[in-house]
Structure formats: C-alpha cells, structure tokens
C-alpha cells in the first residue's frame, strides 16, 4: 500500500464544500489540492491555477483524447476533469490530496485507485442549499434552480461514501473532517509504510 491518500470530497452544490476544503487545506500544509481543469467561466475572485485551470472546450477535449484525466464529468454544460499526472506524482511521493469532485467522478476514482477516502458533505436540510447559493450570489436564479435539481441526484449516491459530514456549523464540520484525516493517518498500513521507509534509508 502507498503512503498517500486521496480524500475525495463531494457535496450538493451550495453545501459549503469549497469553504470547508479551503479551511482544511489551511490546517494541513503538507496536503495538496487537486486543481481541476474546467470549461466553466471563472466566478468573480477565482484565479486560473488556484481554484481551477480554466481552459477552452477545445483544449479540454484534446486533453480528454490524450488520456490526461484520471476522471471527468460534464455538469450544467461545462466539463470538469482531474489531472492524472498530478495524482500519479502525488502517489509516487506519498502526498495526501484533496479532490473536490462530483459523485460521478468519485465513482471513477473508486474504480481506478485504491487510495480513496470518500467523504460526503450534506447541509442540515435540503432547503439550506437554495439559501446558501442565493447568498453566495455567483449565479443566476436559473442556474441555482438547476444546481438544486442536480443536488437530489447527487444525494442518492451517498451510499458510495465512507463518511458523511453535516455542515451545520462550519467550524464543527471542519473539525470532523480533520478528525477523519487524522484517523486515516494513524491507520496501521500507513504508519508502517512510513516506518519501513525510515528503516531502509
């Protein structure tokens, strides 16, 4: 078994996943974020190479044909994909990675890699999604309605996940995700993998 883990985090849009992931990354500086490629236009404040690599549909499809993605999906007319090279490099170096991807992408990671720890985040109530998306103010009412409709389909996939975290209060949700990650770091195989490396060197 390898020493690195892929923390695959999914949630219906508006749950607070991006907010939580940013906080968790701030707490584990050795962990990396898998910056996805997308054809979705940037939201105000999003920077190329930070939240996403923003690419044209032409570039995305070229990458797809070249086998550049470990998984990919199409949501509300936009493509999203995870760099295979990035994941393979992290695995080779025993680095933990957070993947913020949808349930279809999570299924592909489950199939293709042994290192996934699958975490699903839920709002306390489905009605909270509309309120949070409206408050975020980054999309039109039409897109918000589409995202809410997609949310019910996403929630049906919860059984594929190892852990479920309710984002009632942001601090509590971040603490619970940290607890999952700390427990994973203490798994016997993981500790022994690092221990054996020190014996060899």
Residues lying near ligand 5GP in the complex (CB under 6 A) are found at 13, 36, 40, 71-73, 75, 80-82, 100-102, 104-105
Tell me which residue has its CB nearest to ligand 5GP.
105
User: What is the chain's length?
Assistant: 201
| Identified binder of ligand ADP from the candidate list 167, 176, 177, 181, rule CB under 6 A | 167
| CA torsion through residues 184, 185, 189, 190, sign | positive
Min CB(197)–ligand 5GP separation in Å: 30
160 CB neighbour count, 10 Å cutoff: 14
The tokens of 187 are what?
Answer: 């798994």
Nearer to ligand 5GP, 40 or 178 (CB): 40
Report if residue 14 touches ligand ADP, rule: CB under 6 A: yes
CB 55 within 8 A of CB 128: no
Report if residue 176 touches ligand ADP, rule: CB under 6 A: no
Q: Which of 32, 26, 29 is nearest to 7 (CA)?
A: 32
Give the whole-angstrom CA distance, residue 150 versus residue 138.
17
- What residue 135 binds from ligand 5GP, ligand ADP, none (CB within 5 to 8 A, per partner kind)? ligand ADP
Report if residue 132 touches ligand ADP, rule: CB under 6 A: yes
Nearer to ligand ADP, 11 or 63 (CB): 11
Give the whole-angstrom CA distance, residue 63 versus residue 33.
20
Residues within the interface to ligand ADP (CB under 6 A) = 11, 13-19, 132, 135-136, 167, 169-170
């Amino acid at each position: 078994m390898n020493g690195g883990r892929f923390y695959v985090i999914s949630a219906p849009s508006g749950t607070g996943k991006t907010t939580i992931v940013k906080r968790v990354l701030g707490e584990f500086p050795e962990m990396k974020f898998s910056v996805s490629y997308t054809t979705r236009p940037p939201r105000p404040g999003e920077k190329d190479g930070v939240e996403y690599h923003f690419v044209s549909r032409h570039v995305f499809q070229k990458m797809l044909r070249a086998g550049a993605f470990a998984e990919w999906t199409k949501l509300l007319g936009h493509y999203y994909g995870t760099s295979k090279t990035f994941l393979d490099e992290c695995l080779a170096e025993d680095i933990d990675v957070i993947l913020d991807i949808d349930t279809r992408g999570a299924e592909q990671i489950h199939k293709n890699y042994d290192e996934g720890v699958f975490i699903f985040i839920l709002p306390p109530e489905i009605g909270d999604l509309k309120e949070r998306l409206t408050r975020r103010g980054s999309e039109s009412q039409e897109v918000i309605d589409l995202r809410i409709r997609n949310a019910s389909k996403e929630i049906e996939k919860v059984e594929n996940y190892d852990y479920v975290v309710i984002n009632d209060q942001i601090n509590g949700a971040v603490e619970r995700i940290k607890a999952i990650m700390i427990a994973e770091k203490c798994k016997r195989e993981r500790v022994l993998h690092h221990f054996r490396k020190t014996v060899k060197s």
